[in-house]
Amino acid sequence: MRLGTGRMSASGSLFFWVTCAGSVLLVVAVFVGLFSLHSWSDQHEAQSRSLATLRTDVALEQEGIRDPTASVATDRFQDEAERALSLIMASPTQLADRSTIVEMIGAYQAAASAQVAALGRGDLQAANRIYASEEDPAFTRLDAKLSTVVSTEAASAAVGVALAFWISMGIFAAAGIGILVLVLFARRRHARIVAVEAAQRVVAAREETFRSLFDESPQPMLVTMLPTASTEGDRLQILSANQAAVTAYGYSHDEFLAMTLADIRPDEDLDLLVTNLQALQSGRMHFDDVRHETKSGEIREVEIDARQTVFNGHSALIICPSDVTDRVKLQRELEHQAFHDALTGLPNRSLFNDRLKHVHERMQRSPGYYAVLMVDLDNFKTVNDSLGHAAGDALLVEVSQRLTTGIRPGDTAARLGGDEFAILLEDLDNPAAASVAAERLHEVLRVPLPVAGRDLTITATVGVASSSGGGASTDAVRNADVALYVAKADGKDRHTIYSDHMHDTAMERLTLEQDLRVGIGRNELMLMYQPKVDAQTGTMVGVEALVRWNHPQRGLLSPDTFIPIAEQSGLINELDTWVLTAACWQAQQWATSNVGPVPVAVNVSGRSLVSCKLLERVVDALRTTCLDPRLLELEITESAAIPQNSEAMALLQSVRDLGVRIAIDDFGTGYSVLSRLEGFPVDTLKIDLSFIRSIVSEGDEAPIVDAMIAMGLSLGLKVVAEGVETDVQRAYLASRNCPELQGYLISRPIAPEMVATFLLPTRTNTTTTEPRLPTRPNVKTAA
Ligand code: C2E
Ligand code: CA
Ligand code: CA
């Protein structure tokens, strides 16, 4: 690659040579002039000499004429005069008086000849007369004239010599000055040449440095034509590319030369390229967020620095793309993490709120509706606790995908935390459309989800609230929350659309929650005990502790009104702990009183068996009340107990190892595979009252009840039938060898002091006076 060179100007050199030639010509001209002056001066001098000779000769001749006896050879003088005259006549110098002199000479000679002729005749008188009247005046005039001319010519010659002297002096001076000027000029020119050469060396060095920088730089660089106002990206020819660019883009140097800048941009970015080129012309040199495409089609994120340069003598553009793909990826990941849930990849609460704010503002400007759906998975905690966190996570991921596919592309499904999801439906024609969307989500979720090697059926409860942009954007979320709260209270697996009165209901529930929080501490809870009897003998074999809340304003409240609230708010652990301790205390009271030992069954919420430290709580209760563990039974609902993971099973086993018994409550409602019971750490099965209800009249068959009893017995478990209300039921169950019965027929839940009285008549009726201490059934355990 060759970048721009400074070309030395030829005009300086031309000027130099013209000056030299001019100087030489001038010197030659001066010398020619001087020479001419010299010859002119010489001629004048010669003329002056000739004239002087002529005068002398004329004078001598005159002398000879005057005195013919004188020894002067007139002829000789005459010859000399003739010669001098011919010299004068031949002289190139224009003698102004030449014709006058010739005339005068003619006149003189004519007179002299006449005198000589007179003398020759011996006519002395005539000779004297001619002499006096003609010859002497002619001589005098000629002599005077020659004298004048001689001095004029001598003066001219002197002037010529003086002039020649001064001109020579002038020439010397001028030559000196000229030489000085030339020397100065030459020195200046030399200095200029040196400077130009130095500049050229600098340029060359720069070019060399640049070339090695360009070629060897690890930074990819491209040289393109300089864009002008009319240039589009596809016309911006690539003029050069360095090795790093060849490596980075996969094109050879020659391939690059056949390409334009547009060829390394993805097609969809070409508009951006044009915009950037325009910005470049306005002086912008740095560009972020640019994408380049390599030969293999890989898209790389780059930052561009551009500089104008000179390439092969033309203005060009040097482009340095820095690959920032990794950084951009990391940045995007960080941004994504800030606004997305790590597990499911769904938008998180921040992003959801942001989108909500935007749609709310949009709806304020244009007509339409949007809706917020709060989605809560039913019994997610159970799945999480029973199948483990990994399965819980897998379930959440599956659910997220289902929710995303269940909404339109412009809508948002977000995970707010735990099993709580929120959906933002935008641009609805009417609020009812939200209900349709909620129904669709139910359907999508109802299809069994493959989690941890099994198909799980999960349901969700949804609170729906729509808005047309009135009030605050947070109103829709709050209202959807209220609707969800109400939907859950109404029995889950449903969606409820918010209406204004719900707010009051929700507020009431919240108030109740607050009251319960305080009430547990204030001992407002109390326990009733429902007896269980031996089906054959009717003897009371134990009691189940059932909690009641003696609310200061509302009176006695049944567990159905506050257990769901306790479960929803997390107060359930505190409540269960209170019940456990109170029941143990009561059982110990009975055991140490004349009532005698009465086994007590306590309901334990299936939620978070492990995390809520059930073992510690049981150990604590037994220790503080000193109750014989064999008098305590824990009832855990089937839906909570059966899907438990190995950790929870081990925990139940540890509880069992204390001597405490485990009962499966509401058996038959949890759809558990009966075979799973084998190896489960359990002592008792409590058949749910819904099955007992199927025994209506004498002669009815209840095959499911029969199967449950048979299976429980075959596993060596104690079987209890719940909700026995009629004699028909009692007789049927007794005929099927169901060991124990519980229900209103035997007794409603009663106050503890009533238990003693309940015992009395049966004790008198039976052979056994004391309730039997339960014995451990022969069941294989998981441990
Ligand atoms: P559960 O454990 O299945 O308790 C039996 C429920 O059935 C009790 O209602 C009892 O009064 C009722 N019952 C008994 N015999 C009959 C009958 O013949 N017919 C009918 N229709 N009902 C009968 P209760 O006391 O209202 O308790 C309701 C549920 O509340 C309980 O169901 C249990 O799941 C929960 N619960 C009660 N006490 C506690 C407690 O201390 N802790 C926890 N976690 N849950 C409790
Ligand atoms: Ca129970
Ligand atoms: Ca039950």
Give residue-wise pLDDT tens across range 560-582.
999 988 987 889 989 999 999 99
Contact call for residues 410 and 426 (beta carbons, < 8 A): yes
Burial-class residue 625 by CB neighbours within 10 Å (0-12, 13-18, 19+). Answer: buried
Q: Which residues surround ligand 2, an ion (CB under 5 A)?
A: 603, 635, 665
* Statement: residue 531 has pLDDT above 60: yes
Query: In 7-28, which positions are buried (b, 16+ CB within 10 angstroms) versus exposed (e)?
Result: eeeeeeeeeeeeeeeebeeeee
Ligand 1 within 6 A of 605 CB? Answer: yes
The pLDDT, as a whole number, for residue 233 is 61
Indicate which residue's Cα is closest to atom 11 of ligand 1.
Answer: 749
Mean pLDDT of 331-335: 87
Given its phi and psi angles, is residue 23 left (phi above 0), alpha (psi -120 to 50 degrees) or beta? alpha
Residue whose structure tokens are 């069954």: 601
Identify the nearest ligand to the CA of 687 by its number. 3
Neighbours of ion ligand 3 (CB under 5 A): 665-666, 722
Winning range, highest mean pLDDT, from 326-330, 506-510, 716-720: 716-720
Ligand nearest to the CA of 544: 2
Least confident of 77-86, 380-389, 418-427: 77-86
Find the mean pLDDT for residues 46-68. 71
Q: How far is the CA of 303 from the centre of ligand 3 (A)?
A: 68
- Residue pair 238/261 in contact (Cβ under 8 Å)? The answer is yes
Cβ–Cβ under 8 Å, residues 378 and 446: no
| Res. 316: pLDDT tops 50 | yes
Banded model confidence at residue 73, pLDDT cuts 50, 70, 90: low
Give nearest CA residue, ligand 1 atom 3.
Answer: 666
Burial 514-546 (b: 16+ CB within 10 A, else e): ebbeebbeeebbebbbbbbbbbeebbbbbbbbb
pLDDT of 775 > 80? The answer is no
C-beta 233 within 6 A of ligand 1: no
To the question of pTM greater than 0.75 for the whole model, the response is no
Q: From ligand 3's centre to the CA of 688, what distance in Å?
A: 6
Q: Is the CB of 515 within 6 Å of ligand 1?
A: no
Testing ligand 1's pocket by substitution, the residue of 527, 546, 561 carrying the most ligand atoms inside 8 A of its CB is: 546
pLDDT at residue 93, as a whole number: 61
- Assess whether the C-beta atom of 278 lies below 6 angstroms from ligand 1: no
Cα(763)–Cα(771) distance, integer angstroms: 9
Mean pLDDT for all residues in the chain:
85
Q: Which has more pLDDT, 510 or 320? A: 320
What is the spatial distance between Cα 253 and Cα 256, in angstroms, rounded to a whole number?
Answer: 5
| Binding site membership of 559 for ligand 1 (Cβ less than 6 Å) | yes
Cα end-to-end span (Å), the chain: 81
CA distances from 753 to 2, 178, 527, 580, 592 (A): 109, 144, 11, 18, 14
- The one-letter code for the residue type at 751 is A
Neighbours of 758 (CB within 10 A): 19
Torsion of CA 169, 175, 177, 183, to 10 degrees: -160
CA 635 to ligand 2 center in whole angstroms: 6
- Residue 635 predicted with pLDDT over 80: yes
**Pairing label, strands 286-293, 299-311:** antiparallel
Ligand 1 near 591 CB (within 6 A): no
Q: Please tell me if the CB atom of residue 341 comes closer than 6 angstroms to any atom of ligand 1.
A: no
574 CB less than 6 Å from ligand 1? Answer: no
What average pLDDT does range 391-403 have in this prediction?
Answer: 94
